[in-house]
Amino acid sequence: MSTISQWQLRAAFAVRLSEMYGREVPAYTTLVDVSREVNEDVLGTRGADAERLGSIGRVTAERHGAIRVGTPRELAQVARVFGALGMHPVGFYDLREAAASAVPVVSTAFRPVDGEELALNPFRVFTSMLTTADPRFFDADLRARLEAFLAARELFPPELLALADRAAAERELPESEAERFLQLAVAAFELSREPVDRAWYRTLERISAVAADVGGVRSTHINHLTPRVLDIDDLYRRMTDRGIEMIDTIQGPPAWKGPDVLLRQTSFRALAEPRPMRLADGSVEDGALRVRFGEVEARGIALTREGRALYDELLGRVDEQTSANPTAARGDLARGVWERHMPGSEAELAAKGLAYFTYRLADERPSDAGRPPATVDALVRQGWLHAEPIVYEDFLPRSAAGIFQSNLSGEGTRYGDQEGTAYDAARLAGAIGRDVLDPYALYARQQADSLGRVARELDLPDLLG
């Protein structure tokens, strides 16, 4: 009997989730269609260069999802489901600090970690957990009620978790178990039709719309599913032309003539979705909730810590200029800052140690070659090696907070006199029962592995320094 490997499970899960979400949120299907058109056009005009940060096959299939859970126990279960798909927790994001309105969550991203797995299918899920212990959002009474509510619900049936554990242990599932696993896993993220307790939902909504979305209902659901495009500015125009109202910015780096780095994202607010509401007298009436949205992204080169520090510094400068010139367009100010301070070529990013690359031997040695030079820089310059950018596989806290925020209706409440509760990567790892991996270490290893290979091939043991 044939078996289904983890990457095949991951790819199949992404496809089925996408079909399900397209049925639930038709605007998502429009977004996917427009993304495909944009990608085909970019491929047509830029040719092979369009695939520098991933093959068109990978990019067309590429999605990230976002989900939100309530407790460490639920997060640990999510980790088992994604573990079955070869997805591991990477990075820690504290959106409580990054957002101006009340977004009481901390997050990580579940994703494949090695190059081959990423190339097979890079599906990733931004996963947030409510910080119920943070008194800036939840007073003692509300916290107790919220935690009791969350403790009493079950997001993932035991059969799903058992199949997940088996897939993780055996790194595959027999076909019929794989089918069952996929059905249960997709169903776990469908929007529930169960009536929502209106008074409870409204109580949480006064604190934060995100808290209500997570802790106001007895199930979870996919919040959005994001396709990847090769030209997000073009996509933004085309969606606007189709009458879909986008948020007013593209988050992340500006459009400019230099290399694409990190991540640019934009979104639109989805329509209200019908959700039955249970009233205090027990009766049920038609209601609607508007929490899910559409998002799209363009990915660039992964930056090193130094590169990221530069990115954060430039964002700060753009903020300063924006508040000093409130009538100027932020995108124009940002482009100006970038042109002054961001390296204008991949070669310069590499030479300054600001971005990650993999290296491979050129098909032919330079014609007048004697011994190869001893530095990576010189090897690339003289044509011994090709440098290929490593694509950024992660998220940006400030953009994530912006996306959360731009899709909330109210600011929510924050008790400013209270001290925040520490939730850090270690606490998250403790909840999940496995390490939360450091994204920089993953990119650095990919780069070092490639350098190790070329160092052996060229017999340059000192190349790695």
Q: Which residues bind ligand OOG (CB under 6 A)?
A: 66, 68, 126, 128, 223, 265, 295, 395, 399-400, 403-404
- Rounded to the nearest 5°, which phi and psi values hold at 283? -75, 160
Q: How far apart are CA 149 and CA 215, in angstroms?
A: 8
Task: Give the single-character DSSP code of 17.
Answer: H
Q: 6 and 172 in contact (C-beta within 8 Å)?
A: yes
Choice between 295 and 393, CB closer to Ni ion: 295
Do residues 43 and 152 make contact, with C-beta atoms less than 8 angstroms apart? Answer: no
User: How many residues contact Ni ion, by CB under 5 A?
Assistant: 3
DSSP at 154: -
Is 250 an interacting residue with respect to Ni ion (CB under 5 A)? Answer: no
Q: By beta-carbon distance, which residue lies closest to ligand OOG?
A: 400
Could you give the CA distance from residue 87 to residue 231 in angstroms, rounded to a whole number?
27
Out of ligand OOG, Ni ion, none, which partner does residue 123 contact, by CB within 5 to 8 A per kind? none
Nearer to ligand OOG, 129 or 255 (CB): 129
Residue 185 interacting entry, from Ni ion, ligand OOG, none, C-beta within 5 to 8 Å by type: none
Q: What share of the chain is helix, strand, coil (3-state, %, to 5)?
A: 50, 15, 35
Q: Which of 412, 410, 393, 434 has the alpha carbon at shortest distance from 105?
A: 412
What phi, psi does 123 have (nearest 5°)?
A: -50, 135
- State the minimum distance, in angstroms, from the CB of residue 78 to ligand OOG: 13
Stretch that binds Ni ion, among 78-86, 236-244, 289-297, 315-323 (CB under 5 A): 289-297
Instruction: Give the nearer residue to ligand OOG in terms of CB position, either 126 or 236.
Output: 126
Q: Are 331 and 263 in contact (CB under 8 A)?
A: no
Q: Does 66 bind Ni ion (CB under 5 A)?
A: yes
Least Å distance, CB 104 to ligand OOG, is: 12
Output the smallest distance, CB 172 to ligand OOG, in A.
29
403 vs 454, which CB is nearer to ligand OOG?
Answer: 403
Helix (H, G, I), strand (E, B) or coil at 226: strand
The one of ligand OOG, Ni ion, none whose footprint includes residue 223, by CB under 5 to 8 A per kind, is ligand OOG
3-state secondary structure of 444: helix
CB of residue 462 vs Ni ion: minimum separation in angstroms? 43
Determine the Cα angle at 75 with ends 392 and 417, to 5°.
90
From the list Ni ion, ligand OOG, none, which binds 399 (C-beta under 5 to 8 Å, kind-based)? ligand OOG
Residue 21 binding: pick among ligand OOG, Ni ion, none (C-beta 5-8 Å cut-off by kind): none
Interface contacts to Ni ion, rule CB under 5 A:
66, 226, 295
